[in-house]
Structures are given as structure tokens and as C-alpha cells.
Structure 1
Amino acid sequence: MTTIKFSSQEKVQIVSKIQRYFERELEQELGQFDAEFLLDFFAEEIGGYFYNRGLFDAQQLLNERIEQLGDAIYELEQPVN
């Protein structure tokens, strides 16, 4: 698996969310550097789990759509004797 990388804008948004979470839920102020470090840790250590779940969900959706397409094609068949 390739390393999970975020754009600069995504990273700013994620870091902000981490900081707000710490403030709201833990009543602790988390600095920019610490929040970025935590984001990097999550991306490296558990990011693969989220990535794999996304792939699994995409595969499930694709399989459902292929099945629906197969059903639609079957409905187009003309009766023959």
C-alpha cells in the first residue's frame, strides 16, 4: 500500500478538527505541531484500516451495480421458441 498523503488544504482541515476534538472532548489545548504529529501517526498506523474499508465498500458497490446491470440485460432478452 502506498503512503496516505493529504494535500496542504486537507491537512489544515484535519489538523483543525483534531485540535477542536481535543479542546471539546478532552479539554486540552493541542498545538499545531502536536496535532500534525498525531495525524501522521494515525495515517501511518491505522490509515490502512480505513483505506481497506473504503476499498471493500467500493468493491461491494461495484458488485451490486454489476448485478443490477446483469438483471437489466436479462430483462431485455426476447422470448424465443
Structure 2
Amino acid sequence: MFAVTLPVLVVAHVAGFYWALRRYSEGATGDLVTDAPDWQSPVGFLTGAAAYAVLWLVLALVCRRDGRAQVREQPAAPRPVLDRSS
């Protein structure tokens, strides 16, 4: 379940951020994708969205690695020693 939920959350976060950034740049009725928005942050419209996507991708990979590290196989029980002295 974790393998499905995490990518869905990352895509939702990045899409929401892009949508909010697009609305600030172009307005509610502006183009969906644009190279020359009416307003840009100092970082840039597409650069900011790409940096946010990379940040979330790295965070998701770290979370996934940590989630896998916690699920470890239990060591096998030691085999009983047979007493052959008798």
C-alpha cells in the first residue's frame, strides 16, 4: 500500500503547486502552459515548479528507503544441537 500511496501523494502535491503557481502567473483564465507568464517569481515559473518536483521526488525516495529499512526479516531460529554422546 505504501508503494502506491507515496507516488500518488507526490504527484498530487506537485500538481497542486503547479496549479497554484500557474494561477498566480497567468490568472484563472490564462494558458495552462506558458513560456512568458504575466508575473514570475525571482526563481522563475517553470524553474520553481521543477525544483519543487525534484524536492518531493527526493523526499519520497528517502521515505521509501526508510520504510523498507524498518521491515527486516527476522533471523532464522538457531537449529537445535543434537547430543550424540549417548
Tell me if TM exceeds 0.5. Answer: no
Bigger share in helix: 1
Higher relative contact order (CA 8 A, sep 6+): 2
Structure-2-length-normalised TM-score = 0.43
